Amino acid sequence: MLNPRRKKKRQRASLISSLRRCWVGEIMAKIQNTRKRHKSNGISIFTEEYELLDGSKKRLVQQVADGSIIKRFDKTPLPKKPTDVICPHFLELKWAYGCPFDCAWCYLKGTFRFLQTKTQPVIKDREKVRLHVEAFLDIVHPKEVLNTGEIADSLMSERKDDPFSKFIIPLFEGQKRHKVLFLTKSNWVENFLEIKKHDQAIMSFSLNANEVAKRWEKGAPSVADRIEAATKVSDAGYETRIRIDPMVPIEDWKKHYIQLIDDIFDNFTPERITLGSLRGLQSTINGSKDKTWVKYLSEWSNWGRKIELDKRYTMYSTIIDYLEDKYNYNKVALCKETKEMWERLGMDYKKIRCNCTW
């Protein structure tokens, strides 16, 4: 016979399980009611009615076929609480996964912790990628940016015999609606400079203060080399964005990050800049071998641990004010930042134009 405490515990677990089944059932019923299936060349494309950050609703692609190549990143719910993070639901183009670099805080360490390959680069079947991309480009009309660098470094195959850039950019150049986004910490841009027609391609470089990069972005090219590569593709006519993320409040952080801004603008002017601060999902922290960065995290959000609010505010406002005062530049957004922070900075997240959006 169960003792009263254990019996009560089992009853509570049973109730929670029942509630979870009801909740999942309600969610699935809602999805089935709004989800639609379309076909192009025999490939299914599923659309869903999404509520956007500005409160409007729009029917958008949820995934192509099984979602293994093209799928919408919709893991962040619409913000309700002050600590909820803002992230528009963008499309991923998952042509590969993994990364050749070893940044201490990379969330892929948590995402791929159960894979035998861990974060080692893995390239997916090129023919499957082509079929899914062509089906998407054929019938999808609301303009989209497809991000190739959410679960991989977009340039990690550029020194192979069949670089991804020379395969994917011509596919996108066959239409005028959608763009493909390359996000990288690499400087392997030689192939991009050989591609003459690239109106539908966007380049984005992930940068950090030199001291931060040297300490925690192991194996990645130097910040100077990345800026040089960004300058080359910008001069070649590519729309070029910068992501300064994650900002870390090391000693003399203000000096280091202002130097980074000056180094960027001494070479070229980015189309937009997205700022983000150090954060860590628990799975990322668990999967990280070098945990020396975790000491900076003291607050919680619905996207893991963060630097405390006042420090983040000071870092963001310092860089935003410097950009405006010295360079008359205001094309700035935040990445995975809370509703509270957007509002405190006087920025309108409902009009967000960050790294991964149009």
Q: Give the Cβ contact number of residue 255 at 10 Å.
A: 11
Query: Are β-strands 273-277 and 332-334 bridged in parallel, bridged antiparallel, or unpaired?
Result: parallel
Q: Which residue has the tokens 């959000």?
A: 301
Q: Which of 328, 304, 324 is nearest to 316 (CA)?
A: 324
Rounded CA gap, 38 and 26, in Å? Answer: 24
Q: 334: which strand partners?
A: 275
Q: 240: which strand partners?
A: 203
**Structural domains of the chain, with CATH:** 63-351 (3.80.30.30)
Classified as helix, coil or strand, 311 is helix
Rounded CA gap, 175 and 138, in Å? Answer: 9
Residue 61 tokens read as 């692609």
Rounded CA gap, 334 and 273, in Å? Answer: 9
**pLDDT for the residue 3:** 59
- The verdict on pTM exceeding 0.85 is yes
**pLDDT for the residue 318:** 98
- For the chain, how far is it from start to end, CA to CA, in angstroms? 62
Tell me, what amino acid is at 280?
Answer: G
Rounded CA gap, 82 and 25, in Å? Answer: 28
- What is the full per-residue pLDDT of the chain (358 aa) written as tens digits? 555 555 555 555 554 454 444 444 444 444 456 899 999 999 999 999 999 999 999 999 999 999 999 999 999 999 999 999 999 999 999 999 999 999 999 999 999 999 999 999 999 999 999 999 999 999 999 999 999 999 999 999 999 999 999 999 999 999 999 999 999 999 999 999 999 999 999 999 999 999 999 999 999 999 999 999 999 999 999 999 999 999 999 999 999 999 999 999 999 999 999 999 999 999 999 999 999 999 999 999 999 999 999 999 999 999 999 999 999 999 999 999 999 999 999 999 999 999 999 9
C-alpha 314, offset from chain centre: 23
**pLDDT for the residue 34:** 86
> What does 26-45 look like in DSSP terms, one character per residue?
HHHHHHHHH-EEEEETTEEE
**pLDDT for the residue 13:** 53
**pLDDT for the residue 7:** 53
Q: Which of 142, 178, 183 is nearest to 164 (CA)?
A: 183
Residue 48 phi/psi, 5-degree rounding, is -140, 145
